[in-house]
Structures are given as structure tokens and as C-alpha cells.
């Protein structure tokens, strides 16, 4: 059995997680002047563990993800967690710039997301 039990993480997300909204980008285009427009659909509010990116991690990713400000942890069954989609937390929109699956016990995993404030 893994030290990091997946069920413990799921319970922590349920109990201590904060409400966030996953916003799926359904269409994006540019006007003839180069202005970007996006169409999006919001999921119902879901729970995630939310952490600020600490300075040491920011130094490690400088030049790669210089504006990463938050890290979100979701349950393994959370849908629409893909790069380019958005997460709304406390009325602040974050673009998903990296999605990592963290193995916990064998085939069980937790979804870790790096968010860049828009």
C-alpha cells in the first residue's frame, strides 16, 4: 500500500477543498483586427485543494511557466481538465497551463493542475 493513500486525498478534497468552477473553452477565434474571442461553458461548482505556488517552485519553472500562481488538486474522475481550459477560483480566472496525474496507489491517481492568472 502506498504511503499516499488515494482515498485519503479524495476525503481531504471533499472535506477541505474549496469550490472552483471549471470553464471549458468551446470555441476560439480572432477578428480581422486580431482580437481574440472565446466561447466557454461552465460546469457546476466542484471541489479542489487550492495552493499558492511558492517562490522556490516559481524559480524552478521560470522561463517555462513564469506566471503560474496557483496549483489545484482534483479527484481522478474530474472532467474537462485539459490545458487551455480555465478554472475560476474566488472570482479570479486561471488558465490551465499544465496537467499532471500523480500516482497514489497503483493505478489510482490525483489530478494536479498548474494555473496561470489571467
Percent of the chain with pLDDT over 90: 31
Which phi and psi (to 5°) does residue 49 adopt? -80, 130
Residue 1 pLDDT: 39
Q: Which residues of the chain have pLDDT under 50?
A: 1-3
Residue 27 pLDDT: 79
Q: How many CB atoms lie within 10 A of CB 101?
A: 11
Rounded Cα–Cα distance for residues 115 and 70 (Å): 5
User: Which domains, ranges and CATH numbers included, belong to the chain?
Assistant: 6-117 (2.40.10.270)
- pLDDT tens column, 83-94: 989 999 999 999
Residue 65 pLDDT: 56
Amino acid at each position: 500500500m502506498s504511503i499516499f493513500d488515494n482515498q485519503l486525498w479524495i476525503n481531504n478534497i471533499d472535506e477541505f477543498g474549496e469550490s472552483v468552477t471549471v470553464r471549458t473553452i468551446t470555441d476560439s477565434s480572432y477578428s480581422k483586427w486580431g482580437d481574440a474571442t472565446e466561447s466557454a461553458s461552465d460546469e457546476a461548482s466542484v471541489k479542489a485543494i487550492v495552493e499558492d505556488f511558492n517562490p522556490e517552485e516559481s524559480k524552478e519553472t521560470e522561463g517555462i511557466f513564469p506566471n503560474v500562481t496557483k496549483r489545484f488538486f482534483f479527484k481522478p474522475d474530474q472532467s474537462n481538465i485539459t490545458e487551455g481550459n480555465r478554472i475560476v477560483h474566488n472570482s479570479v480566472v486561471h488558465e490551465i497551463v499544465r496537467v499532471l496525474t500523480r500516482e497514489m496507489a497503483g493505478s489510482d491517481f490525483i489530478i494536479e493542475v498548474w494555473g496561470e492568472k489571467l
